[in-house]
Structure 1
Amino acid sequence: MRKLMGAMLLANSYSKISNFDNIIIDSYKGCHIKSDLNKYIKDRGLFKQDLQELIGISKCNKNTSIWIELQKEQLGLAQTLIEEGFKMHRVAGDILQFSKWLGDGESRLPSQATHYVGVGGIVVKDNNVLLVQEKNGQRRGAWGTPGGLVDQKESIIEAVIREVKEETNLDCKVEDVLYFREMHDARFGKTDLYFAFKLQCLDEAQIKICEQELMDYRWVPIDQILDFLKKENQKTHVINFYKSVQERLVGQQYKYIKIEESQELYYGQMKYYAIFKPRF
């Protein structure tokens, strides 16, 4: 594996040989500074001295890296970190994280998050598919599938059910994955992954579109989707997307993907786990 991925932290400490009183070593021998850094805010010289000492100790102990997080009130220490060869790794809320690779050659540390994950719900009811018309942004007036971005710690299955409910008030059940695609250099230059699910509509009568996000909706017969989109002058990539969806909806059952959800033990904790595989 080229990159040293996120690791379980181990309860080791350098407190006896470093002025940083709380340091944890992860399972890849990465050194994580967990000390209170507020004392350094008015004494950057001391921060630089202690940092240089720790770098030397860590290299002697053959540690792979050093990680440190700055709170928003500690950002004045960032310049010292940069001077000592640390790289900005990620921003999360009020935290700016830095890392320094200590090994030889190119850094093997993982980069910050590089993907967005989006979901869309192909809602099916009596051989009709639900299409919604966007109200805002560059896609204003465009017809498509209800959906959106997956929230942190939310599964893609949970996300598509939530998004469809928020946009249309419909309660649905996920049946299959009909389509997924990858697109690079999307928003903020990140890679965009998009999963389209086939959803069974449980109660068509309760539909009520979100007026802040949508202009209108239509239940369109599956075999008329492409004609409808062409009549509405939709973009080619949208029509091609629904051509694939149409092919899957009228195809044989074995083409669909089976979803197996479970709980799996990962680093000592039970984690949500989902497998998507073809039905043969």
Structure 2
Amino acid sequence: MSVLNSLSHVNNMIRSLPKLSLLFFSARKPHYLATAQRFISQGRTPTSRVKIGVATTVSIRSKSTSTISSAIVSETAAGDQVQKINLLTSTDDNYGGVTVELDQPMDSTTFISTLRASVSHWKQLGKKGVWIKLPIHLASLVEDLVKEGFWYHHAEPNYLMLVYWIPDSPSTIPPNATHRVGVGSFVMNEKKEVLVVQENNGLFQGSGVWKFPTGVVDQGEDICVAAVREVKEETGVDSEFMEVLAFRQSHNSFFEKSDLFFVCMLRPLSFNIQTQTLEILDAQWMPFEEYVAQPFVQRSELLKYINDTCLAKMGGQYSGFCPVSTSSNFSDQKNYLYLNAGTLKSSNSS
């Protein structure tokens, strides 16, 4: 063989090395073989890219070893080597996390693949907490989320919120709301009679105890508004909110939640009683002394303090907290600051 022929043979072997190497790699990983053969036959060098969503194209990176982001399932576009990965649509929160509001139905396999790819993507971005709001019509995906490491945070009538903590550090995701807010209304007319009710269900059912109208503050409702509403619902009496006389905090009261209870003073605007039969057995205007003399009231240390406060208010020796409409840096919506307006006014004028 001549020297020229020998050099030509060596060059041909060198040019064939990438193809041979690719075939060798594909033989160890059979699912790459078809792609490798196609590139060899076309004389092309394969490149590997991942398209995120429909706009972002990035290079493939090494896969995480964490359970939830151990794999990124991708699809190879027909006639192209670019791999497309669908991510869950998310919005950033103010604490380094993301929130996802699911809406469109997905089968379990597609959802898990998309979820794992999304969490891996968020991990690369340095995100922390993941909040997934799952509407009730997608409740079938709960099991998939729990298996991937998510846990329940809270539930509402039309959705369930699940959360996940990405970093290898203690979670700082805040717990669900810890308190329920209640109101009790002290309503007294000019005859020194107090508006009282008997309940036909709950703890006082069948006890014969007369008590102030009480209730729970609704979500988004102000304390002063709730007190007026509860009096109207239970007794039919219209009233005007005056002051918060006192409040009490207790624990482990309602589904293991804590409780804030505000004793409010209201001025009656009407006096005709129309009892709400669903919750209230009876209602009446009762002399305050008669109300206080009830054995149940006498045995309660809490009610004694409340009644003493009401008596002091009646005698002009006590001032509660009036609602003052204010704004804040955290919301454009007006809210109420409860304060001793009389004392503050006197202090400012001196």
TM-score (structure 1 length as normaliser)? 0.82
Larger radius of gyration: 2
- Runs of 5+ in structure 1 lacking a partner? 1-13
Question: How large is the Cα RMSD of the aligned pairs?
Answer: 2.5
Letter in 2 for 1:143: W
Q: How does 1:50-199 map to 2 (within 5 A)?
A: 50-126=114-190, 127-140=192-205, 141-199=208-266
Name the CA distance, whole Å, in 2 between partners of 1:151 and 1:35: 26
TM-fit CA distance, 1:71: 2.4
Report the secondary structure of 2:241's partner residue. Answer: strand
TM-fit CA distance, 1:171: 1.0
The answer to whether the 8 Å contact 1:223/1:246 transfers is no
Q: % of aligned pairs identical? A: 29
Letter in 2 for 1:213: E
Report the secondary structure of 1:275's partner residue. Answer: strand
TM-fit CA distance, 1:272: 3.0
The answer to whether the 8 Å contact 1:265/1:271 transfers is no
Report the secondary structure of 2:252's partner residue. Answer: coil
Match of 1:7 in 2: none
Q: How does 1:198-217 map to 2 (within 5 A)?
A: 198-204=265-271, 206-217=272-283
Name the CA distance, whole Å, in 2 between partners of 1:144 and 1:245: 16
TM-score (structure 2 length as normaliser)? 0.67
Name the CA distance, whole Å, in 1 between partners of 2:243 and 2:102: 48
Cα 1:248–1:104, aligned 2, differ >3 Å: closer, same or farther?
farther
- The alignment status of 1:23 with 2:90, answered yes or no, reads yes
The answer to whether the 8 Å contact 2:87/2:114 transfers is yes
The C-alpha deviation readout for 1:57-79, integer Å capped at 9, x for no partner, is: 21221112111122233222222
Cα 1:221–1:247, aligned 2, differ >3 Å: closer, same or farther?
same
Letter in 2 for 1:152: Q
Cα 1:200–1:36, aligned 2, differ >3 Å: closer, same or farther?
closer
TM-fit CA distance, 1:261: 2.1
TM-fit CA distance, 1:45: 2.6
The C-alpha deviation readout for 1:63-121, integer Å capped at 9, x for no partner, is: 12111122233222222212222111111113111111123432111222222111111
TM-fit CA distance, 1:237: 4.8
Q: Between 18-27 and 86-95, report the one with greater CA deviation.
A: 18-27
The answer to whether the 8 Å contact 2:298/2:304 transfers is no
Q: How many residue pairs end up in the alignment?
A: 259
TM-fit CA distance, 1:253: 5.1
- Runs of 5+ in structure 2 lacking a partner? 1-51, 57-84, 344-350
Letter in 1 for 2:198: Q
The answer to whether the 8 Å contact 1:248/1:256 transfers is no
Report the secondary structure of 1:90's partner residue. Answer: strand
The one of the two structures with greater contact order (alpha-carbon pairs below 8 A, sep at least 6) is: 1
